[in-house]
A and B are shown apart, each in its own frame.
Chain A
Amino acid sequence: GESVGLHLPTLSVQEGDNSIINCAYSNSASDYFIWYKQESGKGPQFIIDIRSNMDKRQGQRVTVLLNKTVKHLSLQIAATQPGDSAVYFCAENPFPDMRFGAGTRLTVKP
């Protein structure tokens, strides 16, 4: 079956640097995507979403880029802070058919 996946399971960055977390999806019919942040011992937290009619969407310190040609999604975090340390995962499709990736663990070094 089709699934959402991530290129790298872990990412370590220096505080203040920009972070880029990648996600590949295989269902070309997917038209809605979300990025979530999950801190240890907590539930996932919505970060930003994007629809397939957009290539880019910006939030507070975060930008999501969607490349439908290669079915790739990325989350960019500007000026990464220690509080950004968490697992980030992408998800595709509107509820209830949403499919979630396993996640990338982001560690921010002081």
Chain B
Amino acid sequence: NAGVTQTPKFQVLKTGQSMTLQCAQDMNHNSMYWYRQDPGMGLRLIYYSASEGTTDKGEVPNGYNVSRLNKREFSLRLESAAPSQTSVYFCASTLSWTAEQYFGPGTRLTVT
């Protein structure tokens, strides 16, 4: 099993550009999440998908959109990147609300 995979690993964008971060898991997990991690701060939830076909906002959803393409894949889109979105983005998945959460390796995004 590859676990949770994310692409790309690194990305540099100019302000106003758009991009999609891809995430896939091969553990047949129901729930998937997108977090951002900023220096000196804990992970903050952007969006989550409790199950295939559903998505919900987390703590910091502004400026982002998501798509749960199927049970395996959950993508995060930045429509018009801003410097405040410079961060490390992690995708994660769980089987249930209190099950072990598996994280991907992260995408380091810089917006200039």
Contact among B50, B58, B98, B103 for A44, CB-based, below 8 A: B103
What sequence of 0s and 1s flags, for each residue 46-87 of chain A, a beta carbon within 8 Å of any chain B beta carbon? 100101000000000000000000000000000000000000
B103 near A101 with CB under 8 A, answer no
Contact A100 B42 (CB under 8 A): yes
B42 touches A42 (CB 8 A): no
Check if A45 is an interface residue, CB within 8 A of chain B: yes
Q: Within the complex, what minimum Cβ distance (angstroms) separates B24 from chain A?
A: 14
Distance (Å) between the CB of B100 and the closest chain A CB?
Answer: 5
Assess A95 versus B48: contact at CB under 8 Å? Given A32-B98, A43-B90, A44-B90: yes
Which B residues are CB-close (under 8 A) to A102?
40-42
Given contacts A42-B105, A43-B106, is CB(A95)–CB(B42) below 8 Å? no
Tell me the chain B residues, 1-57 only, with Cβ under 8 Å from chain A. 4, 31, 33, 40-45, 48, 50, 56
CB pairs A–B below 8 angstroms (29 shown) = A32-B98, A41-B106, A42-B106, A43-B4, A43-B105, A43-B106, A44-B43, A45-B103, A46-B100, A46-B102, A49-B98, A51-B98, A89-B42, A91-B43, A95-B48, A95-B94, A95-B97, A95-B98, A95-B101, A96-B33, A96-B45, A96-B50, A96-B56, A98-B45, A100-B42, A100-B43, A101-B42, A102-B40, A102-B42
Q: Which residues of A contact B (CB under 8 A)?
A: 4, 32, 34, 41-46, 49, 51, 89, 91, 94-96, 98-103
